[in-house]
Amino acid sequence: MIIVADSSALVALATCGSLWVLKELFNEVKVPQAVFDEVVVPNKPQAQTLRIYLEDKVETVDLSQVILKNVNGIGQGELEAMALAMNLSANRLLIDDAKAKKVALLNQIKVIGSLGILLLAKQQNLLDELKPLLESINQSDIYISKRLVTKVLLLACLLYTSPSPRDS
């Protein structure tokens, strides 16, 4: 399984120390050059961590070889990530930006966000708790609405807890 990642989702996972779950959930993690360039800018949050993590995962993308619809207002990294996902027939595009997610879906690209990755990792028993991870993301410059945090924690409780003996 292949996942192609965009910058904001990578920064979120790096912030909570969970980049490692990507390799556990997917055989290959790939990023386009533009995403790599965005996340390794000196003095950017998690730049050094992401430089090390991504050094062998960078792919060049020729945007002239891919036709994407409705891409107005989408950044270079997001465009290249979508194109790379299409070129590699990736199983998922890891992306957090709402507008870019909509564009990816319009272009028939399956998406997942950083919190979706954490939920999936929880479901597969790779993570014990999500709350401390979400708190570390929230304490950074990354914005996650309280409503979304509550929804993720509720899903984690509802979907991934063991049934009680009386439910059997």
Place of tokens 């950074």: 140
* Predicted confidence band of residue 147 (pLDDT cuts 50, 70, 90): confident
Q: Give the angle 28-46-14 at the CA atoms, nearest 5°.
A: 45
Q: What is the mean pLDDT of residues 15-28?
A: 96
* Predicted confidence band of residue 146 (pLDDT cuts 50, 70, 90): confident
pLDDT in tens, 43-97: 898 999 999 999 999 999 988 878 888 788 889 999 999 999 999 999 999 999 9
- Report how far Cα 14 is from the mean position of its chain's Cα atoms: 10
Indicate the pTM of the whole model. 0.88
What percent of the chain is predicted at pLDDT more than 70? 93
pLDDT attached to residue 14: 97
Task: Compute the mean pLDDT over every residue in the chain, rounded to the nearest whole number.
Answer: 90
In whole angstroms, what is the distance from residue 66 CA to residue 58 CA? 18
Helices 146-160 and 131-138: crossing angle, nearest 10°? 170
The alpha-helical segments, DSSP class H, found in 16-145 are 20-25, 33-39, 47-54, 76-88, 98-106, 114-123, 131-138
Q: What is the mean pLDDT of residues 28-43?
A: 96
